[in-house]
Amino acid sequence: MRTVITGGAGFVGSHLCERFLAEGDEVVCVDNLLTGALRNIDHLNANPRFRFVEHNVSEPLEIDGEVDNILHFASPASPADYLAHPIPTLKVGALGTHNALGLAKAKDARFLLASTSEVYGDPDVHPQVEEYWGHVNPIGPRGCYDEAKRFAEAITMAYHRYHGVKTHIVRIFNTYGPRMRLNDGRVLPNFMKQALRGEPITLYGDGAQTRSFCFVTDLVDGIYRLLHSDYALPVNIGNPSEITVTQLAQEILALVEGTKSRIIYEDLPEDDPKRRRPDITKAQTILGWNPTVDRAEGLKTTLAYFRSVV
């Protein structure tokens, strides 16, 4: 099969490129390198079934020849990135999704949208089920990302219902693992960077807000299963093991032996979600998927990667 992955030079996208190559596919990786990096895919260039195309998917996208699958993962994904690039974030969620869906329609290809738990906003339903419509501030600083993904879901379903495109939507919860950028601003790499450098570990608010962390290979397996299913509505993929950010900081401090870091507290950013945990019943029942990588194991693997790049 021939699979196109937009955002394929990013953290999750590069792992997807690996997975589809391992499954025997020809992979076309499309990325404008706004937040992705060539070093994430350098090791794939020797594979004759891999091709990199530098392109901004917010502009019209053309791929010669047959295409079987399109996975749309192009977008800034960390708060630091989408707050720095709010308009490109909105454009890739709207125009980029439109262009990728148009290619899927033209090629009669399966399409999978990378959506996010951020569509739930600061949720008042816990854990978050796919039927929950969310609690999002559309004009807040995070609205550029949240609303871009909500629009992307809407246009994906419109293409499915009106044009009969075979579409899938994955709502991704906090994911971690090798090839995350150490300075991308998300909580886990931020804590690891600070611990490795002996800097204060910065917690926002009282540290009681919760997150649920899924190792990247587990996420990729869920995405692969979803793409090859017949289910068109959104599916949560994430690890339901919920911890406070204070607990996460303590686990990382325990891993980084000899660090001089200590926990400090600062004000909570606007619209920062207080609780985040996926209900994965659909993933379990429809896809037969469950996360398998224990957090202790995943943190050790991720820390080893960050030690190599710090």
Q: Can you give the length of the chain in residues?
A: 310
Q: How far is CA 97 from the centre of its chain?
A: 15
Which residues partner with 121 through β-bridges? 135
8 Å CB contact between 112 and 81: no
Q: Which 8-state DSSP code applies to residue 225?
A: H
Which residues partner with 115 through β-bridges? 171
What does the block give as tokens for 139? 């004009």
CA distance 6 to 182: 22
What's the longest Cα–Cα distance across the chain? Answer: 59
Please give the full DSSP string across 17-40, using - where no structure is assigned: HHHHHHTT-EEEEEE--SS--GGG
Catalytic residue among 145, 159, 176, 224: 145
CA distance 147 to 198: 37
50-54 vs 167-172, strand pairing mode = unpaired
Which residues partner with 172 through β-bridges? 116, 237
The letter for the amino acid at 245 is: V
8 Å CB contact between 51 and 29: yes
CA distance 191 to 151: 32
Q: Which 8-state DSSP code applies to residue 46?
A: T
Please give the full DSSP string across 151-202, using - where no structure is assigned: HHHHHHHHHHHHH---EEEEEE--EE-TT--TTS--HHHHHHHHHHHTPPEE
CA distance 193 to 197: 6
Examine the residue annotation and report whether 145 is marked as an active-site residue of this protein: yes
Count CA within 13 A, CB hemisphere, residue 36: 28
Catalytic site positions: 145
